[in-house]
Amino acid sequence: ERLDERIGHYLASETIPELYRRILKRYEEDYERDRPGLVRDAMTLLWAARRGLSEAELLEMLGDPNGPLPQAHWSPLFLAAEAALVSRSGLLGFAHDYVREAVREECLPSEAAQRSAHLALADYFETQPLAPRKVDELPYQLARAEAWSRLKECITDLEMFLALHTETKKYELL
């Protein structure tokens, strides 16, 4: 009954990021019944990730001390947002920068909020065993969060240092 009104609401957007901000608000209305804050939390984590997040990583971070977020809470949002997301080598990320910009404007308007998002990912990856994902994400997240003392501890850990001191990563390490 209100389809024309809804379409008009979206068409009134002056920019593509504004359109995506409106879509994000709609997702919040539709998919946060069982898990308040799901849209903001999920999009914030995807925004902060260096190369994306695996679904398992994302569900674990969105979960609680009792376990990962149940698929029943995640799947409806994922299916709705699927066109705005892309999977690259099993890592979910945004399909284009318009979505990234909309998430930044809507969910992370301040530098403090952005640093906090990077710290949340750093906290997660810090608890993971040494593996390529941790080596790729942890130092990056600490640098983006400007957590300099933690970054120093991270890259001076002998195992991490050796994992970073490879042909493909050594310039990043320096």
pLDDT tens sequence across 52-92: 999 999 999 999 999 999 999 999 999 999 999 999 999 99
Residues above pLDDT 70, as percent of the chain: 100
pLDDT of residue 146: 97
pLDDT tens sequence across 94-153: 999 999 999 999 999 999 999 999 999 999 999 999 999 999 999 999 999 999 999 999
135 token code pair? 């080596």
- DSSP assignment of 79-138: HHHGGGEEEETTEEEESSHHHHHHHHHHH--SHHHHHHHHHHHHHHHHTSPSSHHHHHHH
How far is it, in rounded angstroms, from Cα 46 to Cα 10? 24
SS3 37: coil
pLDDT of residue 6: 81
Amino acid at site 63: G
> Residue 87's CB: how many other CB atoms inside 10 A?
13
61 CB-near residues (< 8 Å, 6+ apart): 45, 53, 120, 121, 124
pLDDT of residue 2: 83
> Residue 122's CB: how many other CB atoms inside 10 A?
23
In this structure, the strands spanning 91-94 and 85-88 are: antiparallel
- pTM of the full predicted structure? 0.90
